[in-house]
Amino acid sequence: MEQFLGQSLAVLTAACFAIVSSIWSYAGKKIGSSCVTHIRLWLSLPPIILVHFIFTGSFFPHHLDPYILMLFSFSGLLGFTIADLFIFRSLILLGVRETLVILTLSPIFGTIISWFALSEKLNHLQILGILITIGGVMWVIYEEGQNRSGTKKKQNLGIPFAMAGALAQALANILSKGALMYNVHPISGTYIRIIAGLLGLVAFSLIRKSFIADLKNMRFIKLTAILAAGAVIGPIFGVIVSMYALTLAPVGIVTALIQVSPILLLPFDFFVLKKKITWKVVAGTVIAISGAGILFIY
């Protein structure tokens, strides 16, 4: 029952990330992806402080052991800073479709590493479910990309950046899972991760000499409001839900289910944006859902 709940929360996380990806994409076209990555965490900080106070009674998780703080801090740096920087660089060098396909390796990395690091051994049907789910997602992303015009020219340098992003995501989840095994409140873990990720992005923006320029973009009230909504949906609610999912289900399964977010956007594309959905995309969706079904049953 606990694993079923964890899997359900992973799908809810995928829904949050599907929604917020549209927000980041819209904002990135206005002020640049690196700027969005930076200021979204500034906008995430006040709400996570408030949420932490409501659920734990304190404004900061000062009770955490230094070892646990270290695990969450490295998880935040990997997930919110390093992974995103690698992924955004890959989007520029390689293109959207190819980058998303390579990022589906993250559950496979997570499954292999957690097998050794956390002794999370999956049965053959669970491994099959992960592979089927990821295969279906890759198919949908590929077919969707085939229908787009103006695809960026593939550059070999983008491949290692995308793979590094997928690996960083997997390691971030494993570190969080390792810390959560000490019965830490997931909201406290999310709090530390956001702070660590923000510090990493502040350092990166200072090196790039874009710190002031990034913060100046918050003068656009409408855009800042949209980013604030995205910050609540993604880095706060979505990440908190994913942390709860990690406490209840193996890393590989949770990461695989989170990867279905592009598929969850298809109804929006079809009914709202009136995009044409080909039978191949539908077939890939059915495959991905079938794989997810195996993960829920076994």
Per-residue pLDDT reduced to its tens digit, 187-238: 999 999 999 999 999 999 999 999 999 999 999 999 999 999 999 999 999 9
Residue 108, both tokens: 């496979």
| Block residue for tokens 């006040």 | 46
- Tell me which amino acid residue 105 is: L
Radius of gyration, CA atoms only, the chain: 18
For residue 152, the model assigns a pLDDT of: 46
For residue 6, the model assigns a pLDDT of: 94
Domains held by the chain: number: 1
What are the two backbone dihedrals, phi and then psi, of residue 113, each rounded to the nearest 5 degrees? -70, -45
Give dist(CA 93, CA 98) in Å, integer. Answer: 10
- pLDDT at 133 exceeding the cut of 90: yes
pLDDT digit string, tens, across residues 70-121: 999 999 999 999 998 898 888 777 766 677 778 888 999 999 999 999 999 8
- Cα distance between the two ends of the chain: 11
Residue 8, both tokens: 């359900």
Q: Give residue 39's domain range.
A: 2-297
**Residue 190 and residue 236 in contact, taking contact as beta carbons nearer than 8 Å:** yes
Q: How many CB atoms lie within 10 A of CB 297?
A: 10
For residue 149, the model assigns a pLDDT of: 45
Please name which of 79, 66, 53 lies closest in space to residue 198, comparing C-alpha atoms: 79
Give dist(CA 229, CA 40) in Å, integer. Answer: 10
Give dist(CA 7, CA 256) in Å, integer. Answer: 10
Q: How far is CA 181 from CA 68, 102, 150, 176, 198, in A?
A: 10, 29, 46, 9, 24
Task: Give the global pTM.
Answer: 0.89
Give dist(CA 209, CA 49) in Å, integer. Answer: 28
**Residue 103 and residue 222 in contact, taking contact as beta carbons nearer than 8 Å:** no
Q: How far is CA 52 from CA 82, 130, 188, 247, 262, in A?
A: 25, 33, 7, 18, 30
- Tell me which amino acid residue 236 is: I
For residue 146, the model assigns a pLDDT of: 62
> Roughly what angle, to the nearest 10 degrees, separates helices 251-258 and 2-31?
40
- pLDDT at 2 exceeding the cut of 70: yes
For 194, the 3-state DSSP assignment is helix
